Amino acid sequence: MSLTYTWVVTGLRNTADGTVVQTYWEKIGTDSDGNSGTFVGATPFDNGDPTDPDYIAFADLTEADVLSWIQAGVVDAYEDHVNTEIQRRIDEVSTSEAPLPWVEPASEP
């Protein structure tokens, strides 16, 4: 079953000059039945260089900017791991513990 994924930035840590050094995020997968699972992650970054032409000042950051940094690091085997964990969590919530078929249900007094 294919999943639809949503990414959310849940937090940032930055230096005194506003350079982002840590991100906190979630990737949520939802199946066609509406069951969802969430992977919670954290991605560190080296101190950025404010003189770099691609540097974005903290006040000018958008969620899309930060997600692009995170998603650039969640690739290959790590992405497979994240997606497998999301599917495992969906599988956990979409199953339930069944009573033993040979045990008579307890009657209430």
The reported pTM is 0.81
Return the pLDDT at 109: 67
Q: Write out pLDDT tens, residues 20-67.
A: 999 999 999 999 999 999 999 999 988 788 888 988 989 999 999 999
Q: Phi/psi at 33 (nearest 5 deg)?
A: -90, 0
Lowest mean pLDDT among 45-54, 67-76, 81-90: 45-54
SS3 39: strand
Residues in Cβ contact with 31 at an 8 Å cutoff, skipping those fewer than 6 apart: 1, 2, 3, 4, 90, 94
Percentage of residues in the chain having pLDDT higher than 70: 94
